Amino acid sequence: MSEASKFSADSKKELYEELNTCLYGLLDGESDEIANMANAAALLYQYLPDINWAGFYRYQSGELVLGPFQGRPACIRIPMGKGVCGTAAEKGEIQIVEDVRQFSGHISCDSSSRSEIVLPIHQNNHLTGVLDIDSPEKSRFDRIDAEGLKEFVRRFVQNTKSS
């Protein structure tokens, strides 16, 4: 049984409350986007069970460009509207994919990934990037993850200056 499936709704919410408190402590007094992305990705990778990739893609010149991450090497550039990341960026909506092999147009950077959650990042009503988290487990992410990570992104944006 996976760690993710052992969480009750309450304990998973508590995990995100603790994670978001830790993020606040890491980012306090630092506004550099790259430094904050690096620490945020490391925090997610260490904190969240059953994930194999956590990181950022930055929106630059009409496409997503790889930013700081933890995990295996990743695709460097993703066109808008392509894959889960490009879809989240283009639609401006959180994408939760239970099985990436069933997602039309999925871009496979790591063949061991089975599920994915991607959150668009906006600063001053402008897209600045996406937060991408992958798991080797099918159906790893749910609405509780989406809500916890939405708060994570909100705190990240609140403490970071976009370049």
- What is residue 100's predicted lDDT score, i.e. its pLDDT? 87
> Across the 163 residues of the chain, what is the mean pLDDT of every consecutive 10-residue run?
47 93 94 96 96 97 98 95 96 95 75 92 96 97 97 96 72
Domains contained in the chain, CATH given: 3-158 (3.30.450.40)
Beta bridge partner(s), residue 59: 64
pTM of the model: 0.91
Residue with the two structure tokens 């939760």: 96
- What is residue 8's predicted lDDT score, i.e. its pLDDT? 52
- What is residue 163's predicted lDDT score, i.e. its pLDDT? 63
- What is residue 59's predicted lDDT score, i.e. its pLDDT? 98
